[in-house]
Amino acid sequence: MFSILKKELRAFFGSATGYIVIGIFLTINGLLLWLIPGEYNILDAGYANVDGLFYLAPWLFLFLCPAITMRSFAEERQTGTWELLKAKPLSAWAIVTGKYFASFLLVAISLLPTVIYYFTVSYIAEPEGNVDAGAFWGSFIGLIFLAAVYVAIGVLSSAISGNQVVAFIIAVVLSFFMLYGFNLIAGVISAGNIADMVESIGILKHYNFISRGVIDLRDLIYFFAISFVFLFFTERKIR
């Protein structure tokens, strides 16, 4: 697994594509949060918070995570290295988890610079340090778990398609459906209990709970379980 992980990281940072993907994500975040006037602008909010980051990130992740994961298996097929990889003494599960954790680590690296927003807002707040630390770190943890699911979806999408662009589109559609699709379905169901049950299948409800600083074991189990399900199907697909 670790050999695959290191190979993926070297490949990602060995080309300009990796830096461009991360740079675009951070640039869009920075512009919307600090420069472009609007509801997400931190300086226009009137009070010290970084809520805009946690409203924007789940939607930006819809493109960041697929952009990172689309090459996982699709590129191996396009370049003809897939047969060589299968010939190595590695189990299918080791290959899948190696590529998964490499992509997850890349998303975490992309997200890490946004921590500076917390310290910046804390510094400019009046009085200084008047920021809800619990809400920030709870939301940040929520983004980490959200990324874990998106990456698992992206890896499966790359295993399904031999074309990176198609893999990207599949990952975006599946991720959007998991984030918001079940909420849309629940909205047209009149029965309250059934609607709540359907909504609980989607990501958004669990992400919103963690974003409030409430770390519930049920939400953590949900994110682990959903990630495992997509990785399981990926392992079965590459077999």
* pLDDT tens, residue by residue, 85-137: 777 788 889 999 999 999 999 999 999 999 998 888 888 877 777 777 778 88
Contact 69, 175 (CB under 8 A): no
Return the residue matching tokens 């662009």.
165
Using the 8-state DSSP alphabet, how is residue 5 labeled? H
What is the Cα 135 distance to its own chain's centre? Answer: 19
* 40, 97, 145, 208 from 55: Cα distances, Å: 8, 29, 15, 10
Indicate the average pLDDT of the chain: 87
What would the two tokens of residue 34 be?
A: 């600090």
Contact 20, 26 (CB under 8 A): no
pLDDT of residue 183: 87
Using the 8-state DSSP alphabet, how is residue 80 labeled? T
* pLDDT tens, residue by residue, 34-87: 888 877 787 776 666 788 888 888 899 999 999 999 988 888 888 777 777 777
Q: How far apart are CA 209 and CA 218, in angstroms?
A: 10
Position with higher pLDDT, 200 vs 44: 200
